[in-house]
Amino acid sequence: MQDFAVVIVGGGLAGCRAALEICRLAPHTPIALVAKTHPIRSHSVAAQGGIAATLKNVDDQDSWESHAFDTVKGSDFLADQDAVAILAQDAPDVVIDLEHLGVLFSRLPDGRIAQRPFGGHSHQRTCYAADKTGHAILHELYCNLLKYNVTFFSEWYVLQLIVEDQQAKGVVAYHIETGRLEVLRAKAILFATGGYGRVFNTTSNDFASTGDGLAMTARAGLPLEDMEFVQFHPTGLYPAGVLISEAVRGEGAYLINAAGERFMAHYAPSRMELAPRDITSRAIATEIRLGRGIHPDGTAGGPFVYLDLRHMGRDTIMSRIPFCWEEAHRLAGVDAVVEPIPVRPTVHYSMGGIPVTLRGQVRANAATTVTGFYAAGECACVSVHGANRLGSNSLLECVVYGRRTGAAIATDLAHLAWPDLNPQPYRQAAEQHLEQLFAQQGDLRIAHLRQQVQDCMTNYCGVFRTAELMQQGLQELQTLKSRYQQIRLGDHSRYWNTELLEALELANLLVVAEIILAGALARQESRGAHFREDYPQRDDTNFLRHTLAFYRPDGVAIDYFPVTMTLFAPQERTY
């Protein structure tokens, strides 16, 4: 067993920003940062469009109150407004701090940080580094961390969170290169494990976004919050689902259907292509359903619509969104200067997650927290995004709440004691679990079962949902779950066994999928990204509350708890 005052699982923006804050406030704290990828290969590196903050460099009418209102309205009034106020108020400060750390933001001619429009934001407030914002920020954070007392466990896979008597005590980790198992004991454990896009068959997320942290938390008997709210990004490149950033529409691109019409005029006339993502995704899915999508041969009735940049001109495209041009060119063979890009909605972001307080402490239930356990970033739900996240608010959440949670941990270390932990049973159980996977004699390949799980979620819990569909989905998921015992590993080595990791990740996908479906079935209303054709209206009387889902061997138990409304009363949401 190895001891660290703090163990952080996840090397993306949230994990790195939290680590940096602990280092700044308590410089000699021994910290382990564990990540199954190298930290700079975390999905944060792929963020393109930008990070929101009311710097007022372009629009001096902007204010934190306006940012907060846009965020709450975008969330369909499910966000906790005290959390949103902190997000909006701290935003300028964290962005300037990033600049001081060395992040190369794009500039206005006078040298100040440039800001672009983004969906659902009423002012021009998104700061960016061309269309490689996540790359610029994550690399600087990682480089800054190298000068502190952080031990990196890169390419270590965390298998289990150890919680005893509502106290987090450690994690069981597996070294991917050598197959070694290790228990890490800590006074404070922070999960910053990112999203779960791989639960679905079409996603903008990287291969590592398999919801491991969520599944480990659920297996430890702790709840997950608002998991039914899955963000579908409107412009996934057809057919791969890779993201074409919202920055492209922020810079002026149009969405057009088979008739060449800018159809957003029917769905969000005041915002057009810059409506929030839930509305734009539903609009595209509706156009496709009604036969106004496009086929690869250009005829009507097909599975995608066009994102049209042609009027923007080569100079704007190549200077503001060069990476998006390159993606479309490399992956779809489209030259966006002269041809429209085929797009359709793709699973992009998890609004729900591990429920946390404003200090990042994980909730054991609606009333109490778990000692020594924290979460931040996409895997956490604080909740600033409610039922639908606005673009450029996620990088912001990682940095604002990464910093806050890091500060909370630095403070709490003064009174957190070393937990009493016998690592032996945990190591043994993990060892046995791996041996059992190697010994399975079935005839199913992992990729096959995974595809079935992903298809099940896309078919039964997609943009449009009904009780009938989701009940079918839950049934099918039970069948798929029972088939897990039949998967057979071809590779029995302990050295760099990616097949073994895929098997472990698949088990996590199954847990997360079930929780999403159960929450979605229980929520009999339409709000934000969760759209029920059998309950098409928002129902504030019964469902203006957060879901808490507990994973149990015999199914998922659902509870609810209240939304914090300190600033704005709910109102009709039109754009």
Ligand X SMILES: Cc1cc2nc3c(=O)[nH]c(=O)nc-3n(C[C@H](O)[C@H](O)[C@H](O)COP(=O)(O)OP(=O)(O)OC[C@H]3O[C@@H](n4cnc5c(N)ncnc54)[C@H](O)[C@@H]3O)c2cc1C
Distance CA 559, CA 385 (A): 20
Helices 394-412, 133-145: inter-axial angle, 10-degree rounding = 20
Distance CA 420, CA 1 (A): 12
Residues within the interface to ligand X (CB under 6 A): 9-15, 34-37, 39, 42-44, 46-51, 133-134, 157-158, 192-194, 204-205, 208-209, 212-213, 243, 349, 377-379, 392-395, 398
The total number of residues written for the chain in this structure = 575
Q: How far is the CB of 505 from ligand X (least distance, A)?
A: 8
Whether the Cβ atoms of residue 356 and residue 374 lie closer than 8 Å to each other: yes
Distance CA 556, CA 516 (A): 10
Residue closer to ligand X (CB basis): 39 or 372: 39
For the question of residue 277 being annotated catalytic, the response is yes
Q: How far is the CB of 195 from ligand X (least distance, A)?
A: 6
Closest to 81 measured CA to CA, from 393, 358, 408, 403? 358
Strands 181-191 and 369-375: parallel
Q: How far is the CB of 417 from ligand X (least distance, A)?
A: 26
Report the C-alpha dihedral over residues 261, 264, 270, 275, rounded to 10 degrees. -150
Residue closer to ligand X (CB basis): 457 or 501: 501
Residue closer to ligand X (CB basis): 171 or 284: 171
Q: Considering the candidates 185, 271, 277, 344, report the single residue annotated as catalytic.
A: 277
Q: How far is the CB of 115 from ligand X (least distance, A)?
A: 13
The maximal CA–CA distance of the chain, rounded, in angstroms, is 67
Helices 498-522, 424-439: inter-axial angle, 10-degree rounding = 100
HSE at residue 278, side-chain half, CA atoms within 13 A, is 26
Q: How far is the CB of 265 from ligand X (least distance, A)?
A: 26
Distance CA 174, CA 263 (A): 50
Q: Nearest residue to ligand X, using CB? A: 12
Residue closer to ligand X (CB basis): 208 or 283: 208
Residue closer to ligand X (CB basis): 256 or 506: 506
At position 310, the amino acid (one-letter code) is R
Closest to 363 measured CA to CA, from 166, 515, 511, 158? 166
Q: How far is the CB of 335 from ligand X (least distance, A)?
A: 21
Residue closer to ligand X (CB basis): 325 or 349: 349
Whether the Cβ atoms of residue 160 and residue 426 lie closer than 8 Å to each other: yes
Catalytic residues: 277
